[in-house]
Chain A
Amino acid sequence: QQPVQSPQAVILREGEDAVINCSSSKALYSVHWYRQKHGEAPVFLMILLKGGEQKGHDKISASFNEKKQQSSLYLTASQLSYSGTYFCGTEYGFGNEKLTFGTGTRLTIIP
């Protein structure tokens, strides 16, 4: 069961904010967030563990709602460098030693 991300794609002007959502149909142990630029490998942004904590660095932050089995990634005052496809990766708990990636959200920042 692949987590579903929304929106599928979004276009923003530099300086605008964006929210990307990741929803799972199964209980989550943790959520990872990655950004992948065209032709490059995914780059790790952050990991959130169950417990509902919010993390962030610079102008990118994320929250994890364990009860709703959802995570959201927040990008504030977006920069051109934020363009790329964002993937959430979910872990489902003991015995499931893998990261399941979401459907992806393509973010385009224009000047």
Chain B
Amino acid sequence: DAGVTQSPTHLIKTRGQHVTLRCSPISGHKSVSWYQQVLGQGPQFIFQYYEKEERGRGNFPDRFSARQFPNYSSELNVNALLLGDSALYLCASSKGQVRTNYGYTFGSGTRLTVV
């Protein structure tokens, strides 16, 4: 079985640009979450989607948005990129919502560098 797939793996963008990151969850998983991980720190929660509805939002500015499609894949969009947005963006899928006793399976992430 394929794991969680993310694309692209690496990305370099200029300040002010827009970026779209993509995630395909494990087959059968209906929950997708997005995390930002800065070097040396733990992942920080951005969004959670379950059954195509937003179920949680972290403390990130409105420049960050996401959506989940009918096939449960997801996109994370970031507008007006800042240097501080440089990080590893992780997508995690789960069988259920956060509080349904299932762990997360993470993708390998997208390394975003803003210059």
- Could you list which residues of chain A lie within 8 angstroms of chain B, going by C-beta atoms? 2, 29-30, 32, 34, 40-47, 49, 87, 89, 91, 93-94, 96-104
In the complex, identify which listed stretch (B11-19, B72-80, B95-103) lies at the interface while the others stay far away.
B95-103
Residues from chain A with a CB closer than 8 A to the CB of B98 are: 91, 97-99
CB distance from B106 to the nearest CB of A (A): 4
Q: What are 10 A-B pairs at a CB distance below 8 A?
A: A30-B99, A30-B101, A42-B106, A47-B102, A91-B98, A94-B99, A97-B50, A98-B58, A101-B44, A103-B42
B99 & A97 in contact (Cβ 8 Å cutoff): yes
* Other A-B pairs beyond A45-B103, A98-B98, A104-B41, 4, CB < 8 Å: A42-B90, A44-B105, A47-B103, A94-B99
- Could you list which residues of chain B lie within 8 angstroms of chain A, going by C-beta atoms? 33, 35, 41-45, 48, 50, 55-56, 58, 90, 97-99, 101-109
Q: Which residue of B lies closest to A41 (CB)?
A: B106
Residues from chain A with a CB closer than 8 A to the CB of B101 are: 30, 47, 49
> Measured between alpha carbons, how far is A93 from B56 in the docked complex, in Å?
12
Q: Which residue of A lies closest to B91 (CB)?
A: A41
> Measured between alpha carbons, how far is A47 from B94 in the docked complex, in Å?
13
Residues from chain B with a CB closer than 8 A to the CB of A44 are: 103-106
Q: Which residue of A lies closest to B55 (CB)?
A: A97
